[in-house]
Structure 1
Amino acid sequence: MKKAFALLLMLAAQPARAELPEPLTCLLRPDRSSDIGAETGGIVASVAVKRSDSVARGDLLVQLDDRLARADLARATIARDITGDKLSRAEAVTAGRGISAEEVATLRADAAMAEADFRRAELMVERARILAPFDGTVAEVGTEAGQLINVQPLLRLIDTRKLRAEIVLPAEAFGQVTPGDVLPLAVELTGSHVAGRVLTIDAYIDPNSNSFSVIAEIDNATGAIPAGVSCSLMR
């Protein structure tokens, strides 16, 4: 915190620069933001969520029409069971030398192929269910039931329990702040003051603006601050 205070004193003492905003502003973004899509094309059977819904990891977001995939799975299940039974009987007969080792090897290969086909069919059924990869809030929904889709984003999921702020600092401040430092930020919309813990610091200076960026993380477990609002570094 002492280092952050020294940084603020240095910023206050330096003359204003035309290239930098006054005060030093930032934008609070979600800690995680992901465009969720399907791994395969198909027809949307149903959309289980709407905009602003909260979801947990593993919750169903979109269900694709899986009737063909389930039919393939049923066929693969039957083929796996049949080849498995044939192999079991052959191995039992082999003990009495009623079938050649070569024939048993062929049946084992057939059983392995049938098992692989079953696993693939099972995976295609699973891929028809598009699930939430993390806890979050649905920010956008870009599909509806009956739509024919390809491999494309269907909705956007964000996690706002933590927010991230990119703060642009003048080159003179380089070396004055390190990961782990806490910077005081003012949130314009709510009028509140929050602590931003520094996560990363640019390793270079932008020659056009003679500045560098710092990424800070803000705890927002209560959801009091909406993502997308402006903030500023308090001096």
Structure 2
Amino acid sequence: MSNFATPFGDRDAEEDEMIHRPSAVANFVCLWFAALLLTSNLHAQDQVFDHSNDSRVWLSGQINLIHQQHPSFFAKYTGANSLRPEREKATSRVWTLYTGARITKSTEILFDVESAGGRGISDALGLAGFTNLDVVRNPTLGSKPYLARLLFHHMIGLGGEVGRAERNFLSMMPEKPEKRIEMYFGKLSIADFFDMNSVGSDSHLQFMNWTIDNNGAYDYAAD
């Protein structure tokens, strides 16, 4: 998913300067996923390849590319943590690889890896509701891959009608009983389970403003 803020003014001739250059492996993976997206059907669809409900393996990926810029503006004073009044532009990227393996009908292991790169305008300072959630808490992103999630998921059925369940990167189980207990152990994102807004809980979905995705009044615990 690529997000672009509305550009202002003329673009400079030189390309955006990245503080951390992505590694060759990260470049290859990004280009591979980009090729898959470009060759997919132009009509609206959620995935490049169909996922079989009977498959015990899950593999999917996503790329966030966010470019933002603002024109120069008048400021009576500017501090170290202010939005800089001179013209700025910045680009960030986050690629995510979602994987999983279903061990039994009620047990599975989920493993996600991410890599980030780039920066935010004014080093993610000067705005209360920052416009790029991907650089909040980490204004100059490093390209070294890191472990985003590692989860052991187990379900205990308590009876009731068994129905079809939507498979995704947090649960591969195709069917679930109406009454059940689901347990997750491991490294996870707070927003995965405690903010169930389908469009505004994560910059991987639709919006990228910090105060829309993660409530700015309460904030979320940083990693």
TM value normalised by structure 1? 0.22
Instruction: Tell me which structure has the larger Cα radius of gyration.
Output: 1
TM value normalised by structure 2? 0.23
Q: Higher relative contact order by CA 8 Å / sep ≥ 6: 1 or 2?
A: 1
